[in-house]
Amino acid sequence: MATASAHSFFAASASVAGALIGLLFVAISVAPERILGPDASEAHAVRAASTLTAFSNALAVSLFGLIPSFDAGTAAIAVSSVGLVFVLGAVLRLAPSRRSGAISLWELTYLIGLVAVFAIQLDAGISLSSRPSDRGALETICILVVVCFLFGIARSWDLVGGTKISLLRVLVARRHDDEPPNGGLGGE
């Protein structure tokens, strides 16, 4: 069974997921009114929920992958299905805010990214369940666990109000810094 070959990976990622979920709860508890309070924006609530969903996905797949004789593909199918339902609910929850302009299209790109992760994970889970020796499907599931960590970390950064770093913004600022006075037209 291919899942046994990923035992060390699943053990490490389960530990990482547990730690990140703990830190997420600490971050939320520091300013609960901003994230979950009555005046909190829908975006903050969805950020928190999508972060928890990404970390929980990684945790569940990893923990089930550690159970002897258990198929990590089945766990991937179940968790990705729940994740897809979550994303659908989040999109429906945010739709009115998007129409009113209260939420940017950029905010929705994270949810679209989660849809892609969960859809690929569902496909890989089905492949691994039907062919337990499919190392490619197992590797895909493992890679998606890492992607869930990266997604969750990025969302956590947004959640706590970290500075947004945009490659486009950096390049535009750099170009602006390199321009000669008067826009390079020479003379006065």
Q: Average pLDDT per run of 10 along the chain, which is 188 residues long?
A: 77 91 83 71 77 91 89 92 90 73 72 93 96 92 94 82 64 65 53
Return the pLDDT at 3.
67
Interatomic CA distance for residues 18 and 8, integer angstroms: 16
10 Å CB burial of residue 97 (0-12, 13-18, 19+) is middle
pTM for the structure as a whole: 0.76
Return the pLDDT at 68.
85
